[in-house]
Structure 1
Amino acid sequence: SVRQFVQTFKRRGLPLHILVNNAAVMLVPEGRTEEGFERHFGVNYLGHFLLTLLLLDTLKHSGKRGSCSRVVTLSSQCYSAHAAYCQSKLALLLFSSHLQQRLDRGGFSWILGWSTRHSTATIFPPARLAQTAIARLLFRGEGGGYWSNGRTEMTSPNTYDPQLQLGLWDSSCRLVGLQEQHQP
């Protein structure tokens, strides 16, 4: 589980400079996670949400001015072809935008990457999928962007809706049982 992983990692006392949220399921049979969430939403979004927030303190302590810790979340531009998968990826975009707003004052960089903008039937070699994530980890610019093919791109208009972002944030905190102390 995410919580068990975080406990084990923190017990080791290691710094954490980079977190890459890449785990995902796609086109799996309808099902639920152990916690009872729809599988795509639970794995592709809530798992990343919980992992990131539970590791924020470690990321913040590991980073320093001029060399801040990084979080890269791989997403896709698929919002309609397969509803459950696409909704989970839309949630990642909303989450990352809202998180960046909360972290802007702390010298912490949040960069949202991509997994593929091609059809879901197209499978890329892992090295190709990692190119943007690695480039974003090495980039020293502002956080909060959506990167694809080596440049910043706009996402769908609803991903910039602050009320939608906040509503998802609050609902997500309730769903995973996070209290205010875990919120930046």
Structure 2
Amino acid sequence: MANTSLSGKTIAVLATDGFEQVELTTPVKALKEAGASIVIVAPEAGFIQGFNHHDKGDTTSVDQTLADSDASSFDGLLLPGGVISPDALRIDEKAIAFVRSFGEAGKPIAAICHGPWTLIDAGLVDGKKLTSWPSLKTDLTNAGANWVDEPVVSDGGLVTSRNPDDLPVFCDAAIEAFAKG
């Protein structure tokens, strides 16, 4: 990797109740270790509930609500997976507008597992090569994406990955994309 310092960069992490805990905590740790500031953004203030697959995990404190967040304040966006959080965010108009703003501004977005669902509704996958949890293949393909079964894919500022097993390469690719910003 060329420049992997994220010093001076602020990354938004968009999630709500039902995020896959390790898909938020592992990238956040890696991004912080690379020097980034992290802001957890959610539809509501307070705490969001993480999950370890089907079981409740830890809660995470929300730093900013969507209503108080503006994509122009951030250098990149992280979309953790889990089924519940991305599914809830994709029908939240403020969440979709927030994600779309990153894409329209050409800012990097890293999404893992079910996180790319939100990218579909934001209109950011047409013509892009990406990956995800396998059950999203048809949704992404129908939205115009070129879906592939690979551990990590980077295309035009979008970094996508399949599942927690891919976290090491996902974190490295996300850091690289955010560093290029």
TM-score by length of 2: 0.34
The structure having more radius of gyration, on CA atoms, is 1
User: Whose helix proportion is higher, 1 or 2?
Assistant: 1
User: Whose strand proportion is higher, 1 or 2?
Assistant: 2
TM-score by length of 1: 0.34
